């Protein structure tokens, strides 16, 4: 049940509702918005429903939760969640670009890419040290040495960075270097990993599972939120469909749908969606046009020699050109760059 307080409800009214919930052994999650406060009630549904909520001081209405997720829903919080990481802001009308190599490979590659994406307007760097690969014989990432390179680039170019964490046992390590932890598509339903990143303080990027529905995706976000970490950025990265012409099918419809279903920011990854260089710019433009809160793009100084995902990596010059168009679209829509 979600109890929506009146605009003019007082602190005493809010405390009154919380204590009624506690009296029946229910948890009360208070969310204070700019316009009104809502209280999420968790516990025995029958007992909660029998209380006369709408007769209580300061209560506007009590809405039963029909969805399987609660706290990440727009019903629970009407205003956008805004997540600030250094100079990068996600949600609340901003349009923010994350860019960098798919994987950190060596110092020269990381530094050259970081310098180029910063110059072209990226606000956050990407670059993984632990790579989920289809083949166990493919390059798996540099591990901690990769995180050290990324941290060096952060200092030099003043760009926070995001890196993937594949295993619960590595959460503390990745979190000790990276500004944002990423859960990749293959781990979206790894509920122990979701809970683990929910219990550490860094913001989390949650990629959509490539076969996940929007509801399953938001439930995965709920696993993180429920543990106390509310800084979650959703990333649409394409889903598997019957179409084989591109690596995945970018579900652009997910962007406006998620905006209606959830208060969390949503970023689009046009690189892993299309899987081919020539598709990246058109998909990025579509993302900005559809109302995404940002994009995350693979860039490499020499894509031909990339150890991972070279086919979809943009050259720094291609990235800069793409940014001009994408930022123009985002600006027309009133986004803050
Ligand atoms: C990535 O962003 O490098 C990545 C592995 O993406 P995904 O989990 O979407 O495949
Ligand atoms: Mn990749």
Digit-coded pLDDT (tens) for 260-309 = 999 999 999 999 999 999 999 999 999 999 999 999 999 999 999 999 99
pLDDT tier for residue 241 given thresholds of 50, 70 and 90: very high
Least confident of 56-70, 74-88, 99-113, 191-205: 56-70
Does the pLDDT value for residue 66 go beyond 80? Answer: no
Asked whether 126 lines ligand 1 (CB < 6 A), one says: no
Determine the Cα–Cα distance for residues 108 and 125; give it in Å rounded to an integer: 15
Determine the Cα–Cα distance for residues 273 and 261; give it in Å rounded to an integer: 22
pLDDT tier for residue 132 given thresholds of 50, 70 and 90: confident
Output the CA 242–ligand 2 centroid distance in Å.
21
CB 210 within 8 A of CB 183: no
The residues that bridge with 97 in the sheet, in sequence order, are: 295
Q: What is the mean pLDDT of residues 99-105?
A: 98
pLDDT in tens, 315-329: 999 999 999 999 999
Please report the atom of ligand 1 found closest to the CA of residue 186: 8
Q: What is the mean pLDDT of residues 234-257?
A: 97
Q: Three-state SS across the chain? A: CEEEECCCCCHHHHHHHHHHHHHCCCEEEEEECCCCEEEEEECCHHHHHHCCHHHCCCEEEEECCCCCCCCCECCCCCCCCCEEECCEEECCCECEEEEECCECCCHHHHHHHHHHHHHCCCCEEECECCCCCCCCCCCCCCCHHHHHHHHHHHHHHCCCEEEECCCHHHHHHHHHHCCEEEECHHHCCCHHHHHHHHCCCCCEEEECCCCCCHHHHHHHHHHHHHCCCCCEEEEECCECCCCCCCCCECCCCHHHHHHHHECCCEEECHHHHHCCHHHHHHHHHHHHHHCCCEEEEEECCCHHHCCCCHHHCECHHHHHHHHHHHHHHHHHCCCEC
Asked whether 247 lines ligand 1 (CB < 6 A), one says: no
pLDDT of residue 69: 93
Q: What is the mean pLDDT of residues 142-156?
A: 98
Output the CA 271–ligand 1 centroid distance in Å.
9
pLDDT tier for residue 142 given thresholds of 50, 70 and 90: very high
CB 230 within 8 A of CB 291: no
Does the pLDDT value for residue 32 go beyond 90? Answer: no
Nearest-Å Rg of the Cα atoms of the chain is 21
Q: How wide is the angle at C-alpha 139 spanned by C-alphas 135 and 140, nearest 5°?
A: 85
Determine the Cα–Cα distance for residues 1 and 49; give it in Å rounded to an integer: 8
The full set of domains in the chain, from first to last, is 2-63 (3.30.70.1140), 83-332 (3.20.20.70)
Does the pLDDT value for residue 50 go beyond 90? Answer: no
> In degrees rounded to 5, what are phi and psi of residue 5?
-85, 155
Does the pLDDT value for residue 137 go beyond 80? Answer: yes
Does the pLDDT value for residue 242 go beyond 90? Answer: yes
Asked whether 127 lines ligand 1 (CB < 6 A), one says: no
pLDDT of residue 260: 97
Burial of 305 by CB count in 10 Å (0-12 exposed, 13-18 middle, 19+ buried)? Answer: exposed
Asked whether 270 lines ligand 1 (CB < 6 A), one says: no
Both tokens assigned to 319? 């990235």
Does the pLDDT value for residue 34 go beyond 90? Answer: no
pLDDT of residue 63: 87
Asked whether 207 lines ligand 1 (CB < 6 A), one says: yes
Determine the Cα–Cα distance for residues 43 and 45; give it in Å rounded to an integer: 6
Q: What is the mean pLDDT of residues 94-108?
A: 98
pLDDT of residue 331: 98
Nearest to 6 by CA among 45, 51, 46, 62: 62
pLDDT of residue 47: 87
- The protein residue whose alpha carbon is closest to atom 6 in ligand 1 is 184
Whole-model pTM: value is 0.91
């Amino acid at each position: 049940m979600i109890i929506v307080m009146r605009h003019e409800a007082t602190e005493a009214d809010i405390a009154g509702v919380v204590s009624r919930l506690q009296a029946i052994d229910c948890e009360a999650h208070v969310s204070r918005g700019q316009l009104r406060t809502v209280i999420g009630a968790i516990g025995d549904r029958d007992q909660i429903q029998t209380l006369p909520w709408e007769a209580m001081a300061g209560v506007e209405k009590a809405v039963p939760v029909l969805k399987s997720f609660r706290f990440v829903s727009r019903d629970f919080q009407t205003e956008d969640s805004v997540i600030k990481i250094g100079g990068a802001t996600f949600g609340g009308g901003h349009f923010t670009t994350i860019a960098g190599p798919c994987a950190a490979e060596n110092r020269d590659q990381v530094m050259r890419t970081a310098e180029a994406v910063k110059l072209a307007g990226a606000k956050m760097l990407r670059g993984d040290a632990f790579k989920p690969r289809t083949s166990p014989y493919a390059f798996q990432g540099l591990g901690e040495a990769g995180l050290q390179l990324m941290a060096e680039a952060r200092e030099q170019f003043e760009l926070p960075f995001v890196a993937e964490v594949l295993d619960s046992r590595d959460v503390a390590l990745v979190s000790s270097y990276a500004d944002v932890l990423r859960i990749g598509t293959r781990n979206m339903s790894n509920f122990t990993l979701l809970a683990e990143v929910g219990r550490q303080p860094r913001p989390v990027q949650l990629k959509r599972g490539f076969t996940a529905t929007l509801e399953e995706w938001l439930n995965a976000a709920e696993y993180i939120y429920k543990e106390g970490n509310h800084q979650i950025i959703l990333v649409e990265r394409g889903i598997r469909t019957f179409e084989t012409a591109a690596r995945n099918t970018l579900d652009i419809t997910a962007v406006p749908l998620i905006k209606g279903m959830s208060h969390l920011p949503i970023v689009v990854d046009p690189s892993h969606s299309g899987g081919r260089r020539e598709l990246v710019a058109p998909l990025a433009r579509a993302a900005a046009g559809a109302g995404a809160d940002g994009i995350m793009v693979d860039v490499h100084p020499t894509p031909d020699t990339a150890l991972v995902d070279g086919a979809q990596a943009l050259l720094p010059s291609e990235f800069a050109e793409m940014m001009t168009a994408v930022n123009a679209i985002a600006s027309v829509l009133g986004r803050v760059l």
